[in-house]
Structure 1
């Protein structure tokens, strides 16, 4: 990754749900708390998230994105990097890929939001993973879960993969990316712990936190935004992963304690204060 200029806006491209704290609704405040100006790009407008509320009303943003990119180029707007999340259509993946191809950004984090528990998310085209591969060639860091990693790589692993199988899967993903890029698999469970696996100097690394029961919508969005923020502040990959994992875990704990309906997303109020303190002091206390 190149030197990153925090004075330039950081692009956040993902869907905006009218209800719930997830996707853009959590990524924007998290990255703003890190002190970075933002270029906010809602890739589609949804009445709710795509799970838990039947089929949401949707307003695609394809034509608006095309006009926005053209306007930014006319105004010579420079970006410090990008976080790409849920896109949802092959056309949007192509639009973002084409835009990134002409930008040469110093940091691009891609969360290939498309599947979990061995199934594509509702409403996605069957060959969506094929489209997503084109986006990976512009990514410095990707953060798929295990299902997404298998779809992207074409490699199938069992429910209890060995370190060698995980290494093969990670290397296969990184072959789809530029040189010296990193793949991080985000939902690896070992006993009562869940966390991330990634490669450093060819060796597998694992960092985890205790499992909290429940399906927390938006947890991946929080992790990806935290990871991007710490990388923007030039933390090492390992430190950024550890702090992002800890921050996500604390957010899940805080949300679970509130006993609110989980399909409305996460309570990030405490997290934002900790990020603001980090931006001022360099210390992130989970």
Structure 2
């Protein structure tokens, strides 16, 4: 069983972010260490919100696990609340005496715009985290905000996976590893939150099961379509995925 550390926001109302990733990874035989980077009352799309400063808990948890000798096979970095957290996480990773795989999804926007309440400081912090990541998974909007130098990054051995992309006017995930790899998928006309988080969880699990990148992406996309269709059939117009109900649809 692989140890996976999820550094991502915990949303009390909404099956998104860490609340969606954790059950997927657990179902796929990973030991999940969930460390919230933000305690958020609900997803941003609802408008009003409430936040809790979690920074001391992050610092103490990372130190505690280090003292206990716990090692992670993979560390996932998602939403980061502030530059202090960013520096804390960077320092933790740089000081490890072993090399876990670092996966970074720079969660900050979609459809050409930043999420409400986010600003240029988020972009600056996320650009800094690109340097420590092995695998970077932005959607098309986030990739544009980060202004990723694909050639330079892949020459350093980094893998870039751009989700919600298009190739020849067809939906695709584009994977860069020194060359451009196109993984097409069937896009359903269903608007549901958390599909990016579901991609992260499934892709990580398949990667840890030793599938290659293209296989892992393809299997992830097919699983997402099955899950979203089943969720919409049972709950037409639902704004989120009742993921626990559909874990058995994961191909595994």
With the length of structure 1 as denominator, give the TM-score of the two structures. Answer: 0.80
User: Given the alignment, which residue of 11, 29, 32 partners 1:17?
Assistant: 11
1:148-187 counterparts in 2 under 5 A?
A: 148-153=142-147, 170-171=150-151, 173-174=153-154, 179-187=156-164
Q: How far is the alpha carbon of 1:62 from its aligned partner?
A: 0.6
CA distance in 1, matches of 2:153, 2:224: 24
Which shifted more, 189-198 or 76-85? 189-198
Superposition pairs for residues 1-286 of structure 1, below 5 Å?
A: 6-7=1-2, 9-51=3-45, 53-103=46-96, 104-153=98-147, 170-171=150-151, 173-174=153-154, 179-190=156-167, 193-200=170-177, 202-263=178-239, 265-269=240-244, 271-275=246-250, 278=252
Q: Cα–Cα, structure 1 residues 249 and 36, in superposed 2: closer, same or farther, change >3 Å? A: same
Any gaps of 5 or more consecutive residues in structure 2? Answer: none
Rounded to whole Å, the distance in 2 between the matches of 1:107 and 1:274 is 27
**CA distance 1:75–1:269, shift in 2 (3 Å):** closer
Q: Distance in 1 between the 2:41 and 2:122 partners?
A: 22
* Native 8 Å contact 2:5 2:32 kept in 1: yes
Mapped partners of 2:103, 2:191: distance in 1:
24
CA displacement at 1:97 relative to structure 2:
1.8
How far off its partner does 1:116 sit?
1.4
Shift of 1:26: 1.0
For residues 107 and 271 of structure 1, do their structure 2 counterparts lie closer, same or farther at Cα, with a shift above 3 Å needed? Answer: farther
Distance in 2 between the 1:269 and 1:208 partners? 26
Aligned residue for 2:13, secondary structure, equals coil
Report the number of matched residues.
251
- The CA deviation at 1:173 is 5.0
Distance 2:158 2:235 in 1: 39
- The C-alpha deviation readout for 1:104-138, integer Å capped at 9, x for no partner, is 43311111101112211112232211211221222
- Contact kept, 8 Å, 2:193 with 2:241, in 1: the verdict is yes
Gaps of 5+ in 1: 1-5, 155-168, 279-286
SS in 1 for 2:30: coil
Give the conservation status (yes or no) of the 8 Å contact 2:106–2:138. Answer: yes
Deviation at 1:39, TM superposition (A): 1.2
Cα deviations by residue, 1:82-114 (Å, 9 ceiling, x for unpaired): 112122322222222222222243311111101
